Chains A and B, each alone.
Chain A
Amino acid sequence: MRQTVLQTKELTVSFGGLKALNGLDFQLYEGEFLGLIGPNGSGKTTFFNALTGIYRPAAGSVLLHGNDITGAPPTKIYAYGITRTFQRLRLATSLSVLDNLIIGNQRNLNLGLWHNIFNRKSFKRRLQEQIQIAEELLSRFSRDLAVHLFKPVSSLSMIDRRRVEVCRALISEPKILLLDEPSAGMTPDETRALMDELQDWRAQYPTLSIILIEHEMELINKVSDRCVVLNYGEKIAEGRYSEVSNEPGVRAAYLGED
């Protein structure tokens, strides 16, 4: 029996009159790689924002391992082991790659005054640890990127920035990873490499569940165990990609899209 890790019940998010999410029932199982698809403006990003506490749902609930976490602030969501990437990158571009990754590893930082200001020896050791973790993580995704650890993110190419964002979300070893179109702006080869790395990571952390928002259907077909299709904030289909892609409702929603 597969375990449900995350569940929403009749989740609704409205912006004024517009219901960006409308009574969404949703389930994510442990270790699952779930594709979240739907046309532009169908509410995919809104769903992530509602899960991570950036938007407050107007109605419905979010359950994590059966516990109600509806409306929990983003900091709590992170503490529960849910991390994400953003559709429009939200890295601290004036900071170094290393700094951005350390930000992602907040959970493992000692923020005590003594440790940070006075006991610089032990701080230095912790810093070296973080550097090593960051280096290992980056070089999994791209050998060249690890060399740029001390460079500002603003000096990186778009693709490398995407990689850094994925690494920032992974460095704290989350239980649930939310990826909002990580492949935007990448070539098919680069996307494939990124997905291979994610599969590798899953092999190492088999309980990690991933929700991937993606417009590239080939990719969804290849990597996802299951798909959920949204349209106008409502779920119009779910199941294996090969099944849902043939449903008339889904075809209608995408008509003129592809």
Chain B
Amino acid sequence: MSELKTKLVLLLGVALSVVVLYGFLYLEREWEIGVLLVMVPLGVYFLKRANALTYYQHAAREMPRFTWISFALGVVVLIMLLRHEDFALLMLTTVLLYATVSLGLTIQFGFAGVVNFAAIAFFGIGAYSMAILNQHFLHIPDLLIIFFSGAISALLGALLILPILRTRGHYAALITIAFGILFRTFLEVNDVLGGPQGLRVSGLEIFGWDFGNSFPNELGGGSFYVAYAIVALVLLATVYLITRLIEASWLGLNMDSVRLDEVASASFGINGPRWKITAFMLGNCFAGFAGAVYAAMYGFIAPASFNLSDSLLLVSIVLLGGIGNPVAVIPAAFLIVVLPEKFQVIQEYRLLLFGIVVILILRFRPSGLMPRGLRQYFAGRFG
């Protein structure tokens, strides 16, 4: 494929995705979404039959950076198209933030094999850190506060490292579940953190731009969510890049090796605990970043927003997408966040339906909608 042709294929893919995403976010009537839901798999089926999908995948493997940038720009276009739609933007931002957390889970579970059923707790730690830091340290730039919030998540997560390293399988999972529940209970009884009523959070101000206002008129005007959507997009794009670079380096190789066979890895000098700890802390850090942006966007946080069911939802995003495939969490996050909002039925039976989805995936497609491919260190050749 010539370079120009490759780029055109990639751009076409982005354009198509933007149209579909716009439809899902913009349409409101259930039958409209229903039609879309039928058309998308059909479209995918025909694209697959016409080999267009493999064509696209090849193109994306050949030019990963172009793919990544064009997709990010595509989402910017999507945000601009939706700039007056508060609810759609809120949903989109939630998707971007949940995808960010899921990338953390991808590193933890997909790369290093560390289970984490407390993702929402680390998201929550980030959110509460944002609330407190923003209130008490007015002179610290908000960008730095987001960064600190992630660091605090990672550090508090370090409390769990020893018990997780000492136990295996189900027990490690139980420890994280217990931590998530403990975290919620702690928030509820702690007066400094607002107890069950929670805390107010002031909005972001980055480079002198106050996010509390609506989107500036010179740029076309729009909801104040536009700014948050863009911050969430930048966050996701950055975290995605980091995840991919880790995957495509010795760090990711060692994590994979530890996950697949810790004893054999140790026999070749690979220090299992080191890579599990690295993955665990990094993943929790990502969750903390996302939580901080979430708190600032909602302007209000309470313990009730950080339930075990949300952690399970995040895990199901990773399972649905494809364990260990960083790209896969993005469409999966979209499906899992947006569909329940569009269908009353799903909303009501949310957990039940997710349970069924997870069981179906594990039974029929254990590697997810977009299974992880072979490790690729660089674009093109090199495996």
Contacts and interface: CB of A to CB of B under 8 A. Distances in A.
Contact of B250 (A54, A104, A110, A124): A110
Interface stretch (B47-55, B126-134, B151-159, B251-259): B251-259
Contact of B267 (A74, A93, A99, A113): A74
Interface residues of A, number: 42
A150 B378 CA distance: 13
Nearest to B383: A150
Contacts of A77: 267
A30 to B, nearest CB: 22
Interface in B257-296: 257, 260-261, 263-271
A95 B267 contact: no
A132 to B, nearest CB: 12
Nearest to B251: A116
Given A83-B267, A152-B374, A168-B268, A117 B245 contact: yes
Given A92-B257, A92-B260, A106 B375 contact: no
B305 interface: no
Contacts of B268: 78, 83, 103-104, 106, 168, 172
A139 interface: no
A38 B166 CA distance: 36
Nearest to B266: A74
Interface in A165-208: 168, 172
Contact of B270 (A106, A123, A124): A106
B269 A75 contact: yes
Interface in B345-383: 374-375, 377-378, 382-383
B249 A124 contact: no
Contacts of A84: 267
Interface string A85-123: 010001111111011001110110111010011001001
Nearest to A79: B269
Contacts of B377: 124, 127
Nearest to A150: B383
A103 B267 CA distance: 10
A78 B251 contact: no
A3 B39 CA distance: 75
B366 to A, nearest CB: 13
Most buried by A among B250, B251, B382: B250
B260 A95 contact: yes
B246 interface: yes
B382 A127 contact: yes
B165 interface: no
B255 to A, nearest CB: 11
A92 B251 contact: no
B117 to A, nearest CB: 24
A52 interface: yes
Given A92-B256, A92-B261, A109 B267 contact: no
B181 interface: no
Given A90-B261, A152-B374, A117 B266 contact: no
A124 B378 contact: yes
B44 interface: no
Contacts of A236: none
Nearest to A91: B264
Nearest to B256: A95
Interface of B: 242, 245-246, 249-251, 253-254, 256-257, 260-261, 263-271, 374-375, 377-378, 382-383
15 contacts: A54-B267, A74-B266, A78-B268, A79-B269, A83-B267, A95-B375, A96-B383, A99-B256, A99-B257, A102-B250, A106-B254, A116-B246, A127-B378, A150-B382, A150-B383
Interface of A: 52-54, 73-75, 77-79, 83-84, 86, 90-96, 98-99, 102-104, 106-107, 109-111, 113, 116-117, 120, 123-124, 127, 131, 149-150, 152, 168, 172
Given A83-B267, A92-B260, 8 more contacts: A74-B263, A99-B375, A103-B254, A103-B265, A106-B268, A116-B245, A116-B246, A172-B268
